[in-house]
Homo-oligomer: A and B are copies of this chain.
Amino acid sequence: MRANRQVVLVARPRGLPRPEDFRLTQAPMPHPAEGEVLMRHDWLGLAPAARLRMDEAGSYSAPMALGDVVYGQAIGTVLQSRHPGFAPGDMAMAMRGGWQCFSALPGGDLNKIDPKLAPPPAWLGPLGTSGLAAYIGLLAHGRPRAGETVAVSAAAGAVGSVVGQIARILGCRVVGIAGGEDKCRAAVDEFGFDACVDHRDPALAQALARACPDGIDVAFENAGGPSRDAVWPLMARGGRIVVCGLIAEYNAPETAGPGWYRLLTQRLTIRGYITSDHLDLRPDFERDMARWWSEGRIRMREDVSHGLATAPAAFIGMLQGRNRGKVLVSLAPDHAQAA
């Protein structure tokens, strides 16, 4: 019988996770119960928010237990189905697939994907959870109007790049904040941002002010830390700050924030959200994003590592900002080895 390779959490990280917090292990091949689907994972999609689930408490979701398979999205191929909605050969995305080579999950937890519309990795990016997070945060909470200025941190990342592209489609001026020249260039050249400033630049505040001569109406915060502090004094009256992620704070949750004086004088709204609070917008997202994708108006940048064993290092690198686009782990090497 074939085994299921898995990466489990063996210690709760303090600050930045270390490779020793994870362990590669084997479990028996799962068997789908009635209503479940057995799926071979072809790709894992890593997202910084998983870091929150590694803490004991305080996250918006139940924390992982020690020994649990690490939480994460997966795209794969249905091998066996005991659910009427799926047949062998279908491709699907599992929100809670986890860092493993196979899963058996209730059919209701899977979303079928259409590899003819876009290749599988795109269903972990713009057409998947990254895109949905971008769409919901920007439209439901940022509510940008044409002509407004939208600032986006982690601008070349999986969520930020989609936020910027949607905001451009909506007719906004879009200014990115990203770490390093390469990412800034990607934001402008690949994703069509009007400008992008480097959060490592000691003159970040002045650079951002120059790029946003009318102030910032919507700030989409993926990072926290320097980008948050640079955006704050530029917020225009009635501005909205949408907090999607705070990579810079996940490993140091006690970091102080800005005082609240400007919040009052500029009548700002700050809104922390998670995608699953607004799944009512999912049908709109699926319709709009499929159209934009097929029109070539949404691009994606992938940062692929190969083999399940590389997942911890890829995850740690992402939290350090070392990735270039959506972080994906291809499990093709694992399946080739097992075959």
- Which A residues form the contact surface with B (CB < 8 A)? 52, 58-60, 221, 224, 228, 237-238, 243-246, 249-250, 253-274, 277
Contacts and interface: CB of A to CB of B under 8 A. Distances in A.
A264 B228 contact: no
Closest 7 pairs (CB-CB, A-B): A253-B261, A263-B272, A264-B272, A256-B256, A255-B259, A257-B257, A270-B270
A266 B237 CA distance: 25
B270 A263 contact: yes
Nearest to A228: B260
Contacts of A60: 237, 264-267
Contacts of A244: 264
A259 B267 CA distance: 19
A231 to B, nearest CB: 12
A30 to B, nearest CB: 31
Contacts of A245: 264
A265 B56 CA distance: 13
B272 A266 contact: yes
Nearest to A270: B270
A255 B261 contact: yes
Contacts of A267: 60, 272-274, 277
B259 A256 contact: yes
A259 B269 contact: no
A256 B253 contact: no
B261 A258 contact: no
Nearest to A253: B261
30 contacts: A52-B264, A52-B265, A60-B264, A60-B265, A60-B267, A221-B260, A228-B260, A238-B277, A245-B264, A246-B260, A246-B264, A249-B259, A249-B260, A249-B261, A250-B261, A253-B259, A253-B261, A254-B259, A254-B261, A255-B259, A257-B258, A260-B270, A264-B272, A267-B273, A267-B277, A268-B270, A268-B272, A269-B269, A269-B270, A270-B271
A58 B258 CA distance: 15
Contacts of A238: 277
A254 to B, nearest CB: 6
A250 B249 CA distance: 28
Nearest to A250: B261
Contacts of A249: 259-261
Contacts of A266: 60, 272
A49 to B, nearest CB: 9
Given A52-B265, A266-B272, 16 more contacts: A52-B264, A60-B266, A60-B267, A238-B277, A244-B264, A245-B264, A246-B260, A246-B261, A249-B260, A249-B261, A253-B261, A260-B270, A263-B270, A264-B274, A268-B272, A269-B272
